[in-house]
């Protein structure tokens, strides 16, 4: 029986591998510096399919494009091309360089994804944790894509997952008040330092600062852990700013989950967050 179980497992794995093509470590800059690479997952025979562009988390200091769990299979099975990107990290580079890397990666996708069966005009951008901040900012602050000769029009939807830095000054104030109130030692490399230790930069690097009417900002699905004091507040803050600007914004509050689990579970058939994601993407691509 164990032999049969192993055989079935191997056959299932082979079937999954055959169902998608994966190209890894594709450089998106010329010349490509360290970590300026991405992976592309596409169905066999893909042609002009919508694209999901994913940005990993890790506090802007860690993480990798391989941290995608079930997402590639989920989206490939649904007829998408899935892209997962790396980017340079703190403290080797400054925060703004990370934003520029994400824009360069999207530029490569726009120019080359048709070669992998994707549609460069139908891109959904998403990310988890630090990747959520990067996704939200790149989808509302047009300067980074504009520097690459692109506009927000190529983005059809944005899915930030459990981020806490859509409003950087707010999270800094909350964190530092918490330390003072509870007589805790401050972080040695907290959000203040990561985002440049400048109030002007903190504001400029906040997605909420750049939300405005008439910019062609795509619809948002903002996933967060229900009841988490920081990510819930930031999710509501971003959603309210978008709605005030006339941008469709849907909040999904994950219950009985955690910061990692809400991301890791995306792609599970019975996961409520996955269902919300599938519905959002379908609706976003109709517009």
| CB atoms near residue 6 (< 10 Å) | 10
**pLDDT exceeds 80 at position 219:** yes
Average pLDDT, integer, range 41-56: 97
- Asked whether the beta carbons of 104 and 28 are under 8 A apart, the reply is yes
Q: Which pLDDT belongs to residue 8?
A: 43
What residues are paired with 21 via a beta bridge?
A: 42
Average pLDDT, integer, range 250-266: 98
Q: Which pLDDT belongs to residue 19?
A: 67
**pLDDT exceeds 80 at position 12:** no
**pLDDT exceeds 60 at position 14:** no
Average pLDDT, integer, range 179-207: 96
Average pLDDT, integer, range 100-117: 98
**Distance (Å) of CA 29 to CA 122, 135, 155, 184:** 21, 19, 20, 43
Domain 21-284 superfamily per CATH: Alpha/Beta hydrolase fold, catalytic domain (3.40.50.1820)
Q: Which pLDDT belongs to residue 213?
A: 98
Nearest to 231 by CA among 159, 138, 135, 167: 167
Mean pLDDT, all residues of the chain: 94
| pLDDT confidence bin for 4, thresholds 50/70/90 | very low
Average pLDDT, integer, range 102-127: 98
Nearest to 235 by CA among 221, 245, 219, 255: 221
**pLDDT exceeds 60 at position 17:** no
| pLDDT confidence bin for 20, thresholds 50/70/90 | confident
pLDDT for 29-44, tens place per residue? 999 999 999 999 999 9
Domain boundaries, the chain: 21-284
- Asked whether the beta carbons of 33 and 58 are under 8 A apart, the reply is no
Six-digit token string for 285: 């691509």
**pLDDT exceeds 70 at position 15:** no
Average pLDDT, integer, range 255-272: 97
Task: Using DSSP, state whether 57 is helix, strand or coil.
Answer: coil
């Amino acid at each position: 029986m164990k032999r049969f179980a192993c055989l079935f497992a191997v056959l299932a794995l082979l079937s999954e591998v055959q169902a998608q093509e994966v190209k890894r470590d594709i450089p998106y800059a010329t010349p490509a510096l360290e970590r300026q690479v991405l992976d592309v997952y596409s169905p066999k025979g893909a042609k002009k399919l919508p694209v999901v562009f994913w940005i990993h988390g890790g506090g802007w200091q860690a993480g990798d494009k391989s941290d995608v769990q079930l997402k590639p299979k989920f989206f490939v099975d649904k007829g998408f091309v899935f892209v997962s990107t790396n980017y340079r990290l703190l403290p080797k580079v400054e925060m703004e360089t990370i934003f520029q890397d994400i824009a360069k990666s999207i530029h490569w996708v726009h120019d080359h994804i048709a070669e992998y069966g994707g549609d460069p005009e139908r891109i959904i951008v998403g990310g988890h944790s630090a990747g959520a901040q990067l996704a939200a900012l790149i989808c509302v602050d047009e300067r980074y894509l504009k520097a690459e000769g692109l506009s927000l029009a190529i983005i059809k939807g944005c899915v930030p997952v459990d981020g806490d830095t859509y409003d950087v000054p707010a999270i800094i104030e909350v964190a530092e008040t918490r330390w003072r109130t509870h007589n805790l030692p401050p972080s040695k490399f907290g959000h203040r330092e990561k985002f440049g230790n400048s109030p002007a930069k903190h504001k400029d690097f906040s997605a909420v600062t750049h939300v405005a009417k008439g910019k062609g900002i795509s619809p948002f699905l903002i996933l967060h852990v229900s009841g988490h004091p920081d990510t819930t507040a930031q999710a509501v803050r971003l959603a309210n700013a978008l709605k005030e600007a006339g941008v469709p914004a849907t909040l999904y509050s994950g219950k009985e989950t955690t910061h990692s689990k809400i991301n890791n579970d995306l792609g599970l058939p019975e996961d409520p967050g996955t269902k919300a994601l599938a519905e959002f993407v379908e609706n976003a691509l109709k517009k």
